[in-house]
A and B are shown apart, each in its own frame.
Chain A
Amino acid sequence: MKFQLNEKQLGYAMVAPALILVILVTLWPVAQSFYNSLFDYRLNDPSRSERFINSNVDLERYANDYFYLSRDLEALEGQAPDADDAAAAAEISQEFEAYHAELLEMDGLAEQYEEVEGMIASFTAISDRDLKYAQVDNDWAEGFKEFLGDSSQQLIDISSDAEDEAFAATAANVAGSLQLVDTAVIESNFIGFSNYQRYLTDGRMWQSMWNTLLFTVTSVFAELVLGLMIALLINRAFVGRGIVRASVLIPWAIPTAVAAMMWGFLYDGQTGIVAHYFEQFGFIDDASVLLSTGAGGMFSVIFADVWKTTPYMALLLLAGLQTIPGSLYEAAEVDGAGKWQQFWKITLPLLKSAILVALLFRTLDAFRVFDLIFVLTGGGPANSTESISIYAYITLFSQSNFGAGSVLSVIVFISVAIISTLFIKFIGSDLFAGKTGR
C-alpha cells in the first residue's frame, strides 16, 4: 500500500503554499496592528515603549537611579533635624533596601544586574532588550510601586513641614528620585479593548470618519458620472481620438502629492487662478473661502480628487465598453430602439461588472485618502478635512502613540472590509460567484 492522494487533495496540496503565502502577506500586518492596539504602547515614553504582558523592571534606569538614591537616603537620615524625621528616613531606607535585595534574589537577576551596572559605569547605552528589561513578579512590582509612591508622598510632606531649608531641599530631591525609580518599574501595559472604547466614543474620530465618508461618496459619485461620459466619448471613432485618449490620462499620471501642491497654488486666495475665476463666475463670494473655510476646504479636496481620478474611472469603464459586441447595437437598431434605450438596455447592464470593479477600487482608494489632503490642507481648516487616515498618521507618527494609532488603523481596516462586503453582497454577487446569473 503506497500512500496516495486523490485528485482533489492533490489540487489543494498544489495551491497550499500559495494560500499560506497569501494569508501571511495579507493578514499578518493586520494581525500585528491588532495586537499593538491592545496595548498602551507609546514609543516616546520609556515605561510604555514596549509591549509588556507582565511586570518588568527597566534595569538600566533602575541601576542608575538606585546608585544615587541609596546614597541620598543615607544622607537624608544624617541630615534630619529631629528624631521623627530621622526615623521616617531610616524606615524608608530600610524598606527600599529590602525591596532591592528581593529584586536581586530573583532568578538570575543578580548577574544581569551586575552586567547592567558595568555598562552604566562605562556610559554605554544598552540596546539589548533582554538585558535591559527583567521580568519580575507582578505582585512584587505592585507592592514596590505602592511603596515608592507612598514614601515619595511622605517625603514631600516632610519636606514642606521642615524648617531646616537644606534638609527640606534634600527631602524633596529624594522624593523626586523615588518617583524616577517608580517609572523604572514597569507594570503591564496590556489594556485590552479600552483603547477601542475610547476611540469609538471620541468625537474627533467620528468627525474624521464623517469627513472621510462625505469625501468618498461625493467624489466617487462625481467620478463615476464624469468617467462614464468620458468613456462613452472616447469609445466612439472620431478624428484625433488617440490624442484625446492620451491627454485624458494626464491628471492620473501626475503624482498625487504634486497634484495637491499644484491645486494648492490654484486655490490660493491671493494668487490662485481657479479661486479667482470661481469668484468671477459667482460660485463663491470671495476667492479665499476655498482654503480657509471648512466647507470650502472640503469642496477643494473633493474637486481636486475628482480632477485627478476621473481618468482612471474612464479607463476602467472604457475597457468594459470595448467588450460589448457591436452586433447587439445593430440588432437593437433594427428593432427600432433609440440611442437612449440602447444605453439603458444594452450598455449599462453589460457594463455592470466593469462599473462595479471601478466603484469598488475607487471607494476603497477614496476611503483611505491621505496624501492629497495631507499636502493640500493638512486636515485643516479647523479639522474640517481631516480624514481617518490623517488622524491615524498624526496619532502614530507625530505623537508616537502606537497603541492608539493602531486602533485607528484597525478601524480603517474594518471599515474597508465592511465596504467591500457590502459591495459584493448587494451589487456584485454574480460577479464574484464565478458564473453569471444569466
Chain B
Amino acid sequence: MKLWNKKVAGATVLTMSLLLAACSGDDEATDTGTDTGGDTGGDEGTEEQVTITYAAGVDVTGATDVLIEEFEAQNPNINVEYREMPADTGASHDQYVTMFSSQDASIDVFDADVIWPAEFAQGQYALELDRFIEADGINMDDYFPGTVASGQFNGRQYAMPKFTDAGLLYYRTDIVEEPPTTWDELITMAGELQGEAGTEFGYLMQANQYEGMVTNAIEFIASHGGQVVDENNEVVVNSPETIAGIQTMIDIVNSDFVPSNILSFQETETNNAWVGGQSVFARNWPYMQSTSADEEASEVAGNVGFATLPEGDAGSAATLGGWMTMINRYSENQEAAWEFVKFMTGPEGQTISAVEGGRAPTIEALYDEAEVQEAATLFANEQFVETLQNAVPRPVTPIYPRISDIMQVQLSQALAGDITAEEAAANMQEEMEAAMAE
C-alpha cells in the first residue's frame, strides 16, 4: 500500500510539474534595459539615461545605423536599440499585430508601411501624435499631402511620414526616344519594340497574387478616373471608370509582349528581368533606378530612363508607397520615442535617409537641397517630385488587409481570365460593402 501511495504521489507530482511548466508562459514584462526612475524620486534632472527600442525592416543600405548614431550624438541621454524585422511587409505586419495585441511594450518606435496606420490606430496599438506635433510646432503642410493623409485616422495623426515611394515607368533609352504617354501608346510601342536590342519582352509589371498587384491595379484604376473607396469611406469600386482600368490591366497581362508567366511576377522578378536586359519597358518602384545603374550586376547600366506612368482617360496616377514611423501606445518612454521620431522624420533625418539609403524624402523642400539632389538622379528630377506629389494612396481604412485580400482574389481571377472586368468590379463592390458593414 505504501508503495502504491508513493507511486501515485510521484505520478501526481510529475503531472503537476509538467502542467506548471506548460502553464508558466513568458508573462514577464519585458524590461527595456534602464530604470526610468518612475516615481521613486531617483531622477537626476536631464542626465537620466533612457533606452528606447526601434524596430524596422532589414536595411541593407546601412542608413538606419547612421540615423541612430547621429541621433544619439545629439541626444546623449537617449540610447536607441535597433531591432530588425522581416523585409517582407506582410510578415512584419503579422508580427506587429501579434505583439501589440498582447500589449507588448518592448518596442517603442517602429516603421510602418503606409497601409497600416488606420488599422493600428483603430486597434489602439499606436500613440496619437497630435499633442507632440502641436507642442513642437511641426507644420504638417511641409510634407506631401498623400503621406500625411496615410497617417491619419478619425482626424488625428498617428504616424509621421518617413520616406515615400511611387510607381514609375522605366524605359530603355537605347531603344526608345520618347517614352509613351498613354496606356494605348505603351501597348502599341511595347508590341512593336519587343525583341529590339536583344530584349525578349515589351513590358514588365507585378501581377502575382500579393500586395504589389493591388498597387499596380490602383494605378490602372486611378488613371482611368476610378476609385476603390471614396473620401466618405463609401465603396465605389463598381464604376465604369474602374472597369475600364481593370480591362486595360487585363489586356496588358494577356498580351504577347509581357512574359507568359507574368502572373508570378513580383518586384524581384521584374528587377531581375529588367537588369538582365530582357525588356523595353517596366513598371517598378524608384529603387530599380539604382539597381539598373549598378555596373556589375546590370546589363542595362547607362541605358535606363524613367518617366511618369502612362495616362488613362483621367491622367497619370502612381500608387503611393513608402514607410511611416509610429510609436507603440504601450511604450513607457513616450517622450524619448517622440524625440527619435521627430529626428528621423524631420529634415535632418530624412536627408540622412536620402543620402545613405537612397530613400525619397516626404518633405517637399528637401528636393531643393543640393545634398539630396546628389544622392540620386531621381531626386533632382522634377517629374519624379511631381509624381510623388500626386501619388494615389491605397484605401485608408482599418480593415485594409481585408480590402486588399478581396482585391487580390478578384483581380487575380480576372487576370487569369476566369471572370470579366465587370464581374470582378461587381464582386469587389459586394464583398467590400459586406466587409465594411461588419
Q: How far is the CB of A239 from chain B (nearest CB, A)?
A: 44
B13-30 contacts to A (CB < 8 Å): 14-15, 18-19, 22
> Which of A49, A269, A383 is the one whose CB lies under 8 Å from B264?
A269
- Inter-subunit contact A17/B14 (CB<8 Å): yes
- Inter-subunit contact B259/A269 (CB<8 Å): yes
A153 within 8 Å of B by Cβ? no
Given known contacts A21-B19, A44-B398, A125-B329, A398 and B94 CB-to-CB distance under 8 angstroms: yes
Q: How far is the CB of A381 from chain B (nearest CB, A)?
A: 5
> Which of A24, A287, A383, A394 is the one whose CB lies under 8 Å from B413?
A383
- Inter-subunit contact A380/B19 (CB<8 Å): no
B405 within 8 Å of A by Cβ? yes
Q: Which residues of B contact A283 (CB under 8 A)?
A: none
B66 within 8 Å of A by Cβ? no
A286-322 contacts to B (CB < 8 Å): 286-289, 291-294
- Inter-subunit contact A25/B22 (CB<8 Å): yes
Q: How far is the CA of A293 from the CA of B262 in the complex (A)?
A: 11
- Inter-subunit contact B123/A43 (CB<8 Å): yes
Q: How far is the CA of A379 from the CA of B209 in the complex (A)?
A: 8
User: Which residue, of B93, B98, B127, B209, has the highest number of chain A Cβ atoms within 10 A?
Assistant: B209
> Which of A40, A46, A176, A399 is the one whose CB lies under 8 Å from B405?
A399
Q: Which residues of B contact A286 (CB under 8 A)?
A: 260
- Inter-subunit contact A397/B98 (CB<8 Å): yes
- Inter-subunit contact B101/A400 (CB<8 Å): yes
Q: Number of residues in A with C-beta < 8 Å to the partner?
A: 45
Q: How far is the CB of B214 from chain A (nearest CB, A)?
A: 13
Binary contact track A29-55/B, C-beta < 8 Å → 1, others 0:
000000000001001111001000000
- Inter-subunit contact A291/B15 (CB<8 Å): no
> Which of B14, B18, B261, B409 is the one whose CB lies under 8 Å from A291?
B261
Classify the interface of chain A: helix, strand, loop or mixed: loop
Of B3-11, B182-190, B234-242, B299-307, the stretch lying at the interface with chain A is B3-11
- Inter-subunit contact A268/B19 (CB<8 Å): no
Q: Which residues of B contact A45 (CB under 8 A)?
A: 122-123, 398
B154 within 8 Å of A by Cβ? yes
A10 within 8 Å of B by Cβ? yes
Q: How far is the CA of A270 from the CA of B259 in the complex (A)?
A: 8
Binary contact track B260-290/A, C-beta < 8 Å → 1, others 0:
1111100001000100000000000000000
A323 within 8 Å of B by Cβ? no
Chain B's interface size range is 35 or more
Binary contact track B399-429/A, C-beta < 8 Å → 1, others 0:
1011001000100110110100000000000
Q: How far is the CA of A33 from the CA of B334 in the complex (A)?
A: 36
B36 within 8 Å of A by Cβ? no
Binary contact track A237-264/B, C-beta < 8 Å → 1, others 0:
0000000000000000000000000000
Closest residue of A by beta carbon distance from B273: A270
Q: How far is the CA of A114 from the CA of B337 in the complex (A)?
A: 28
Given known contacts A378-B209, A383-B409, A269 and B261 CB-to-CB distance under 8 angstroms: yes
- Inter-subunit contact A378/B97 (CB<8 Å): no
A14 within 8 Å of B by Cβ? yes
Q: Which residues of B contact A21 (CB under 8 A)?
A: 15, 18-19
Q: Which residues of B contact A292 (CB under 8 A)?
A: 260-264, 416
- Inter-subunit contact A399/B122 (CB<8 Å): no
Q: How far is the CB of A129 from chain B (nearest CB, A)?
A: 9
User: Which residue, of A40, A269, A287, has the highest number of chain B Cβ atoms within 10 A?
Assistant: A269
> Which of B8, B125, B209, B260 is the one whose CB lies under 8 Å from A269?
B260
Q: Which residues of B contact A121 (CB under 8 A)?
A: none
A20 within 8 Å of B by Cβ? yes
Given known contacts A46-B122, A270-B261, A399-B401, A380 and B209 CB-to-CB distance under 8 angstroms: yes
Given known contacts A21-B18, A127-B330, A382-B209, A394 and B264 CB-to-CB distance under 8 angstroms: no
Binary contact track B21-60/A, C-beta < 8 Å → 1, others 0:
0100000000000000000000000000000000000000
A331 within 8 Å of B by Cβ? no
Q: How far is the CB of A327 from chain B (nearest CB, A)?
A: 43
Q: How far is the CB of B209 from chain A (nearest CB, A)?
A: 3
B151-172 contacts to A (CB < 8 Å): 154-155
B210 within 8 Å of A by Cβ? yes
- Inter-subunit contact B97/A400 (CB<8 Å): yes
Please give the residue numbers on chain A whose beta carbons come within 8 Å of chain B beta carbons, in ascending order.
4, 10, 13-14, 17-18, 20-21, 24-25, 40, 43-46, 49, 123, 125, 127, 176, 180, 204, 268-270, 286-289, 291-294, 378-383, 394, 397-401
Q: A14-B4, A288-B260, A383-B209 are in contact. List 11 more A-B contacts (CB 8 A).
A: A21-B15, A43-B123, A125-B330, A269-B260, A288-B264, A382-B209, A382-B412, A382-B418, A383-B409, A397-B94, A400-B101
Please give the residue numbers on chain B whose beta carbons come within 8 Å of chain A beta carbons, in ascending order.
1, 4, 7-8, 11-12, 14-15, 18-19, 22, 90, 93-94, 97-98, 101, 103, 105, 119-120, 122-125, 127, 131, 154-155, 208-210, 259-264, 269, 273, 329-330, 334, 398-399, 401-402, 405, 409, 412-413, 415-416, 418, 438
